[in-house]
Amino acid sequence: MSVRVAVADDQALVRMGLRVLIEAEDDLELAGEAADGREALELVRRERPDVVLMDVRMPVMDGIAALREIAADDRLTGTRVVVLTTFELDEYVFDALRAGAAGFLIKDSEPEELLRAVRLAAEGESLLSPSVTRRVIAAFTTGSGARHAPRPELGLLTDREREVLGLVGEGLTNEEIAERLVVSPATARTHVSRSMVKLHARDRAQLVVIAYQSGLVR
């Protein structure tokens, strides 16, 4: 079954490049295009794609506002939004994480990286690469009032689940966690899922923030 991908960007050339990239892949399907946030919101509500590649700077309604609307719609819980940014530390990244983005991608990323990002998002992975996660989330938590005390719910986690949470905080995928701990990807996925439930995290990106705020990532 193909992963249905919607593209939202006000630059026609960017949309064309993403469209060509997606349509060349057998396991991906273009669900539609939008040139502004309002169009993107209407497109997502109509087509309910698996993944949305969403630019942040768009007319009529910016990508963050559209993202908030999508995150607040219970009918769209299966749609993952990956925010497209120009710079790794764009201020919009912080707003995107707060609003519920699955992660972010730099616009000039290599095609292979973008395609991997789409597939990871569709599988429920967070798109916060280790190379930028530490700087982004550290700045995010500092800007939000520095680190908070660990959540009481952390006491509900097993030692292995706390260990896995720390690795999620480093930006590792389930497969990378499995390799690090010498367990199966399915086992790693189970630990991540249980941690999300126990910590009432809406998604994996929020787990990353919790890991930083709780001091599990240094």
* Domain boundary assignment for the chain: 3-127, 147-213
- Per-residue confidence at 91, pLDDT binned at 50, 70, 90? low
Q: Which helix (H) or strand (E) holds 89?
A: none
Cα–Cα distance between 162 and 209 in angstroms, integer?
A: 14
C-alpha 187: how far from its chain's center?
A: 21
Q: Flag the least confident range among 23-37, 41-55, 67-81.
A: 67-81
For the segment 120-159, what is each residue's pLDDT rounded down to a tens digit?
888 877 666 555 555 666 565 565 544 555 677 888 999 9
Q: Given 1.10.357.10, 1.10.10.10, 1.20.140.10, 1.10.1660.10, which CATH number is that of 147-213? A: 1.10.10.10
Query: 149 by DSSP, 3-state: which?
Result: coil
What's the CATH class of domain 3-127?
Answer: alpha beta
DSSP 175-218: HHHHHHHTS-HHHHHHHHHHHHHHHT-SSHHHHHHHHHHTTS--
Token pair recorded at residue 4 = 């249905």
pTM (2 d.p.): 0.72
Q: Residue 77: its pLDDT value, please? A: 85
Per-residue DSSP letter, 127 = B
Q: Residue 179: its pLDDT value, please? A: 95
CA dihedral (172, 122, 114, 91) in degrees, to 10, reads -70
Beta bridge partners of 80: 51
